[in-house]
Each structure stands twice: as C-alpha cells, then as structure tokens.
A and B are shown apart, each in its own frame.
Chain A
Amino acid sequence: DRKSQEMTMHLQQTFNAAILTSLHPRSQIDIFVEVLQSDGGNYCASVNAATLAVIDAGIPMKDYVCACSASYLGDSPIVDINYLEESSGSPEITVAVLPKSEQIVFLEMNGRLHEDNLSKVVDMAVKGCKDVYGVLDRTVREHVSQVGSSLET
C-alpha cells in the first residue's frame, strides 16, 4: 500500500547515505523491516532496528543511523510522539541523523509549524537521536563483548 511504499523509499534514501555500498560492488543488500505493532514513530523504529541489523550483518557503514520524531504541542517542543499525538493534528518532524558528525540524512515534516519554532523542534529531535545512539551503541558493545568473551573460552 501507499504508506509502506513511501516508507520503503525513505528507508532506501536514508541507508544509501550511510552504507558504504562501494565496498560491495555488484551486490544487493536487502533490508526487510516488519512492523509487529504500531504506536507512532514507525519510520524511526524501522531506521533504528535496521541500523542494528546492518551492524549485526557486518556490513560497513559510515556511522550509526539514528532516527527520532518531535513535535510542538501547546508552547513546548516534545520528543518521540506516539500515535495519539501524531493524529491530534500537531506538526510532526522526523529526523534521521549520523550521530558523531551530527549530519542529517533524512528530514520530514508534516503539518503546520511556525518558523520561529522550527529550530527548537529540530534540535529536540536531533538530541533525541543522540540519546537513541547512546542506547544502540551500548547494546552493540555489550553484545560484542559477550560474543568476544565466549570465543575466548
């Protein structure tokens, strides 16, 4: 359906920017994402999960790709909005970032947002991405040290 196709294109664009495809010439890398349950932030969860999957597969990337959404409700920016907040009509900004260099690889906005608030909301989303990066990186390092130690014994 249309929504999945659009998300497919966005994911493709995002990962094209991060994966070092030149190291795998004449090859196709398939990333299959399955949404089991949804409560808003589908794209963000897909990007974060796909990043971990690509790392687990051993495919080289420039950096982790972390995604987070943010919105502006009342008079304050909020991070990581759920389905209820998404469908309430407030604007929604989704951002995917390469955390170390703080480069934005994907940015999408839905709804109406005053330009004075734009930088606040984008900063909120980027900070969210960096927090996600913290969690993902810690998990990857734990997993690697577990595998490494079981190899030694």
Chain B
Amino acid sequence: MAEVDLSDAEKIFIKHGVQDNCREDGRGCEDYRHIELETGLLSNTTGSARVRLANTDILAGVKAELGTPSPDKPNKGRLEFFVDCSANATPVFEGRGGEELAAEIGNILTRTYDCPSCFDLEALCIIPEEQCWILYVDVLLLECGGNLFDVASIAVKAALYNTKIPKVTVSRDEGLVELEISDDPYDVQRVEVQSAPCIVTVCKIGHSHVVDASLKEEACCLARLTMGVTERRTVTGVRKEGSGSLDPASLEDMMQTGKRVGELLNKSLMDSLLEEERQGSKKKPVGFLK
C-alpha cells in the first residue's frame, strides 16, 4: 500500500480523535467517504464499472467466455479474479512491485465470492461437465487513497451487475451438441448480484475501530479485519491482517460493526446501481474525462 510517514504526535492526534468518534475529516467512525460510481464504460468488456472513493480509484472489467467447468464442480460456472496494480497509482508499483498487494486483493475477492448462497455459479452452467460461462473479472488499481479492498469489492459487484451475458441455445442433434450464442444485444442473461458480498475493512486504532480508513488512519492502525458481508448480514469471509493483536471482545465488536456497515453499504450500492440503470440513456457518460 502507499505508505504515509506520520510522526508520533500525529498518530496520537488521530487516535484521540477516533476515540471521541471524530475523525480527521469530521466523519464518524462508521461513515464512508464520498463514493462515485459509473458502469458500462468499456465497450470491449461484457461488463465494467469504475468506482472512486475520495482518492482511491479502481476500474473493474468483466469478460464472459465459454469454457469447461472444473471437474469437481461440473454443474457450476467459474469466476476468476485478476488484480493489477498500475504504476500510475504509486511509483512503488512499477514493474513487479505491486504483485504482492495484487495477489492479496485477488485472494480475498476469490474467497469472499466462494460462498454458494451469495453468488449463484450454477446459473452460469450451460451443459454440465462440458460447457459453462467463465467470468474473468479484472480489477485495475488506478490510484491509492486507502481502503483498497472495499472499493475493489464495490467495483466488482457493480461490474457484475452491469454484465450482460448473451443467451445461449443448446441444440442436440444425434449426440452432436451445438451452441448458438445470440447476437442480439438485448437478448441477454443478467448476473444475479443482489446477495453478492461487499468487503468491509474495519481498522483498529487505539481502543476503538473505524471503517473506511484514509491513508493516514491506515498508518496508525496495527490490526485490520477484512470481512465479506452480504446485504442480509451474512459474513462470507473474515481475515485479520496487520502485526497487532486483537482480543476476542474487540474482535466481536469489530465484526458487529462490520456487519452493520456492510448491510448499509450493500443497500446503498444496489440503490445507486438501480438508479443508474433507470436513468438509462438520459445519463451523460462521464468516463475518464472528469
């Protein structure tokens, strides 16, 4: 992650603020910064989304391709994540510098989406054991402003919502199976993301914890809890990171906060996505020109 050097006095200032539920920029401990979201930016992809949270900028693209299901899950499609940290985000990411962070984000996304009740992979299956849709989700980090995991998961969920997979008709002709992929841009199958998880990162600062830490706050926190939460408050994955230790009582508190915030985040995200879709062609595309 992009590192910020803070003096001890600055760290103490931030810690005391968090304890009194007043953060550096005036937010409460459970408030997110301003989020901007746009979907359908990249015409080459099946679905795409760009999310901007303060200074963090992440672009996600989904490409649907036909392939064979994995042998241990013959009637399920596949979801493959790939994360790339662009050198534009911070020069540290030049060449192979961003690989470690990219692998971390990729792994967390894979694990949180691995839950069968939150993301239905069976809908992506065309012919069991033979053909299925594989959704390749590519996440690109354009700028680092703290809280990368949350924004990446929001971008992924929005891109999956935007994904329009062409409908496939299967015709069997004496043992020979033919797949016909529809050319009609309106004859599509949408991906069900209502119960897809969003990642909420809860950072422990001093004796309290905050959600959506900025770069400075991340530099003060010793332990982080990264949780995947669905809109029904189901937790699909938890991971503790950082060199500090958490006692079970604070772990419990942080998880409750994460579930509460996750439910709200999912709801607001779905509301915005539905609003954007409702506006349809009336909305002027912003893309990268702002």
Chain A residues within 8 Å of B, Cβ to Cβ: 30, 32, 34, 36-39
Count chain B CB atoms within 10 A of each CB in A32, A36, A37 and give the residue with the most: A36
Q: Are A37 and B87 in contact (CB under 8 A)?
A: no
Q: Are A30 and B86 in contact (CB under 8 A)?
A: no
In the complex, the number of residue pairs spanning A and B with C-beta atoms less than 8 Å apart equals 23
B154 within 8 A of A: no
B142 within 8 A of A: yes
B279 within 8 A of A: no
* With A30-B91, A30-B94, A32-B94: A37-B44 Cβ-Cβ less than 8 Å: yes
The answer for the CA separation of A153 and B172 in the assembled complex, in Å, is 72
Q: Are A36 and B42 in contact (CB under 8 A)?
A: yes
Binary flags per residue of B272-290, CB closer than 8 Å to A gives 1, else 0 = 0000000000000000100
Tally of contact residues, B, Cβ under 8 A: 13
Q: Smallest distance from the beta carbon of A137 to chain B beta carbons, Å? A: 18
B53 within 8 A of A: no
Q: Are B44 and A39 in contact (CB under 8 A)?
A: yes
Consensus secondary structure, chain B interface: loop
Nearest-neighbor residue (CB-CB) of B45 within chain A: A37
The answer for the CA separation of A30 and B87 in the assembled complex, in Å, is 10
Add 10 more A-B contacts to A34-B87, A37-B43 (CB < 8 A): A30-B91, A32-B87, A32-B91, A34-B88, A34-B140, A36-B42, A36-B59, A36-B288, A38-B44, A39-B44
Binary flags per residue of B14-51, CB closer than 8 Å to A gives 1, else 0 = 00000000000000000000000000001111000000
Q: Are B86 and A34 in contact (CB under 8 A)?
A: yes
Nearest-neighbor residue (CB-CB) of B48 within chain A: A37
The answer for the CA separation of A38 and B43 in the assembled complex, in Å, is 10
**Which residues 45-82 of B sit at the A interface, judged by CB distance below 8 A?**
45, 59
Binary flags per residue of B231-273, CB closer than 8 Å to A gives 1, else 0 = 0000000000000000000000000000000000000000000
Selected A-B contacts with CB under 8 Å, 12 pairs: A30-B91, A30-B94, A32-B94, A34-B87, A34-B140, A36-B42, A36-B59, A37-B42, A37-B43, A37-B45, A38-B44, A39-B44
Chain B positions within 8 Å of A38 at CB level: 44
Which 5 A/B pairs are nearest by Cβ-Cβ distance? A32-B87, A34-B86, A32-B88, A37-B44, A37-B42
The answer for the CA separation of A32 and B85 in the assembled complex, in Å, is 12
Chain B positions within 8 Å of A39 at CB level: 44
